[in-house]
Amino acid sequence: MKALFPILGVVLPPAAVAMHKGISGTFVVNLVLTVLGFLPGVIHALWTIAQPDDELALPPAVEAIRMNITQVL
């Protein structure tokens, strides 16, 4: 499935971003870029797809606090 994201990013950039990141601010930015000019939308979609998914990870300090609370409970 991951191999299809770049192909979809070239054919339908907003759909690729929506499938990869969900309906969020990134999707809206890509939709606007695609409407203003197809090539900027494609570039943004490919760049977004290439980014690692580490945004969902908690910062180390927050993760340590979460682990301590879990151990107490």
Residues 40-63: tens digit of each pLDDT: 999 999 999 998 765 555 566 666
Are the beta carbons of 52 and 69 closer than 8 angstroms? no
Residue 59, helix vs strand vs coil: coil
Look up the pTM and report it: 0.70
Average pLDDT over residues 21-36: 92
**Distance between CA atoms of 30 and 69, rounded to whole angstroms?**
39
Looking at residue 37, what DSSP letter applies?
A: -
For the chain, the average pLDDT equals 82
The pLDDT-based confidence of 68 (bands split at 50, 70, 90) is: low
